Chain A
Amino acid sequence: MKLLLDSSSSLLFSLLLAQLPVFTSASPVPQRRPSDMDKLSNQTKNLMKLTQELLREHAFDSDVEPHRFRSLPEMSNRSANDLSNLELKPTLSQLHADLKLYEHHFEWLNKVSKKHHHPALPKLVEMIREMKSLITLLHRQMLRVEAPRLTPATPSLPPQLPYQFDVLQSSQELLQHFKLFCDWAYRAFLSLKPKVSAVQ
């Protein structure tokens, strides 16, 4: 009897304790769970915001035509019309390959920025973290829809950057490119959203 009492009281107590987080986390108003495509577009927007902040905080007025990076994803062949005719799997695969390429470039920038003690370093680290998270999310989505993974192109990165000026110019060029990439990618995710629902 004693054992029974002991165990029942502790069981009741643990049940209550277990219920507590459920109660507290439960939203009183039922909210729509964000879809995977929502997560992808939100994460892209977040990255774009970070990029814009970095560009604003470390404004660098350069009218020189950028030329340092030859292996960045090609954006000149993308037009607004393409966005209405995107195919789900090839687009997801291409975006994933593009992001991997950007990741390589930004990791390189992070490395050279460390050497030159660039003030944008903390935000750059945050950006790379967010980028990795987007890549993981995108990869998960690709697995779900069985989109093939493309072999990412080999980045051709500039050699040593001897001066702080070179680092600044390189970071501006990369960030400007990446901002436009995020703009396109975000719109691509918005366009693909109905297509994902149709597949799943």
Chain B
Amino acid sequence: MPGLLSSPVCLTVIWFLSWSLRPSRAQIQTDEVSGVQYGRLGSNVTLACGKSQTRIPVVWHLNQSSALPWHKVTSDGSLVLLHTDHSAQGNYSCYDSQGLLLHSVKLRLGHPPGLLSISCQVPNHTHVRCSWVDSVKTFLPAKYNATLRGNGHEWRPCIVDITRKHCDVYQPRYWVTIHTLRVTETNGLGSETTYGRFRLHELLKPDPPESVLVKELEGYSKRLYVSWNSPSSWPLHDAFPLVFHIRYRPQGSMYWSEIYSDVSPVIISDALAGHLHQVQVRARDEVNSDSQWSEWSPLLLVRPWEVHTTTEPTEEPLPDDDDYPETSTAKTHKPEAEDEGNLGLVILLVLFSVVILTTVLSLIFVVWVRQRRRDHLAIQELASMVKMKSMPI
């Protein structure tokens, strides 16, 4: 017997019986939804009972239930739903008097699209991302078509991500004064086109610097080492330099100190010894001062190096810059620049004093030579006078 039950013939018979004995309602459920009709919320919506108008009267069901929202049925069998609200949505079916399904339709209610609120982000010169928000909640699925153009030029497609409601353009014509984005939203009740105008060079805003690292410098109780990487979305090319803004303060202080630098790393040399410091870095396009600063990198906390000994604290010796090669990289750090300037001034002054001294000595020499010559002349004159006196008249 078990062998008989598992035979292919028996299995086929069981499958056929189970298929033929399925409730007829289930068959209707899978086949009945033949289309979707859209209607405006709050308005009267008419659902026709198919194209045939011969088999009236008809019976309407909503989701297999005879309970319907506020409605009337017209003489041709159409169902008119009055002042619809969300509860009127669902699968409508109309049957003839014998219970035979004549037509079914899915009703979705909502609003036609309204204008969109569009904004664009420009994380670098090769990418523009524009996103939008509906000004009207439509409750209906929508499709979007987006295009971008520079003033007076052709429209280029902006690739839409429908779920995130944004679109991307790669390699835009960046060096054009004004760009226009055109987004057309289409749903079952209509379509609406919104235009947005932008100056890409004013929207340029890099992503924040990455891999920001702040650490103490061993042996230096007032110094901090800060390094970072350019945002990975920024092109690594000479043509796209970035400027970085570093800010730091002792935790609890209201005032930030600042450093601007073109390169990483920098050394902070005026940290408050023994205090925890907050440090952040942000970036901006170095060329275009109309562009925007990136967001700040996450706040990092660091304490400058401290002597961990129990002996009496001693006066900290002044660190020798030559012993620490990394300090030379802090190009834009103001105190270091001042040191360089002071050294230059001293050398200049020494040279100048040497020149002055040489000039004075030469002048003295010249004056001395002239004086000697004058004395020599006077002696000669005296001698000639004596000679003249001694001459017989």
CB neighbours of B365 from chain A (8 A): 9, 12
Set B171, B176, B289, B355: member contacting A20, Cβ < 8 A: B355
**Interface pair B173/A193, CB less than 8 Å apart:** no
Quote the shortest CB–CB distance from A19 to chain B (angstroms).
Answer: 7
Q: A16-B358, A52-B289, A188-B239 are in contact. Are A81 and B348 (CB under 8 A)?
A: no
Check B321 for interface membership: any CB of A closer than 8 A: no
CB neighbours of B340 from chain A (8 A): 29
Number of A residues near B (Cβ < 8 Å) is 46
Check A50 for interface membership: any CB of B closer than 8 A: no
Check A66 for interface membership: any CB of B closer than 8 A: yes
Check B50 for interface membership: any CB of A closer than 8 A: no
**Interface pair A65/B171, CB less than 8 Å apart:** no
**Interface pair A79/B177, CB less than 8 Å apart:** no
Check B36 for interface membership: any CB of A closer than 8 A: no
**Interface pair A186/B287, CB less than 8 Å apart:** yes
CB neighbours of B178 from chain A (8 A): 65-66
**Interface pair B373/A2, CB less than 8 Å apart:** yes
**Interface pair B235/A190, CB less than 8 Å apart:** no
Q: Mark B163-190, 1 if CB is under 8 A from A, else 0.
A: 0000000011111111000000000000
Select from chain B the residue with minimum beta-carbon distance to A78.
B175
Tell me whether chain A's interface is mostly helix, strand or loop, or mixed: helix
Select from chain B the residue with minimum beta-carbon distance to A84.
B237
Set A26, A80, A183, A190: member contacting B288, Cβ < 8 A: A183
Check A24 for interface membership: any CB of B closer than 8 A: yes
CB neighbours of B389 from chain A (8 A): none
Set B239, B289, B352, B363: member contacting A187, Cβ < 8 A: B239
Q: Mark A159-200, 1 if CB is under 8 A from B, else 0.
A: 000000000000001001101110110111011011000000
Q: Could you tell me which residues of chain B, from 295 to 317, have a CB within 8 Å of some CB in chain A?
A: none
Check B126 for interface membership: any CB of A closer than 8 A: yes
Select from chain B the residue with minimum beta-carbon distance to A80.
B125
Set A27, A77, A79, A184: member contacting B172, Cβ < 8 A: A79
Select from chain A the residue with minimum beta-carbon distance to B126.
A80
Select from chain B the residue with minimum beta-carbon distance to A12.
B362
Which residues of A pack against B, CB within 8 Å? 2, 5, 9, 12-13, 16, 19-20, 23-24, 26-29, 45, 48-49, 52, 63, 65-67, 75-81, 83-84, 173, 176-177, 179-181, 183-184, 186-188, 190-191, 193-194
Which residues of B pack against A, CB within 8 Å? 124-126, 150-153, 171-178, 197, 201, 235, 237-241, 287-290, 340, 343-344, 347-348, 351-352, 354-355, 358-359, 362-363, 365-366, 369-370, 373
What 7 new A-B contacts, CB under 8 Å, besides A78-B174, A79-B171? A19-B355, A63-B197, A66-B177, A75-B176, A81-B171, A180-B175, A186-B287
Q: Show 9 A/B contacts (Cβ-Cβ < 8 Å), sorted by A.
A: A16-B355, A20-B355, A28-B343, A66-B178, A76-B176, A78-B175, A80-B235, A183-B201, A193-B238
In the A-B complex, the 10 residue pairs with the closest CB atoms: A28-B347, A80-B125, A187-B239, A83-B239, A75-B175, A76-B173, A9-B366, A191-B239, A80-B126, A180-B175
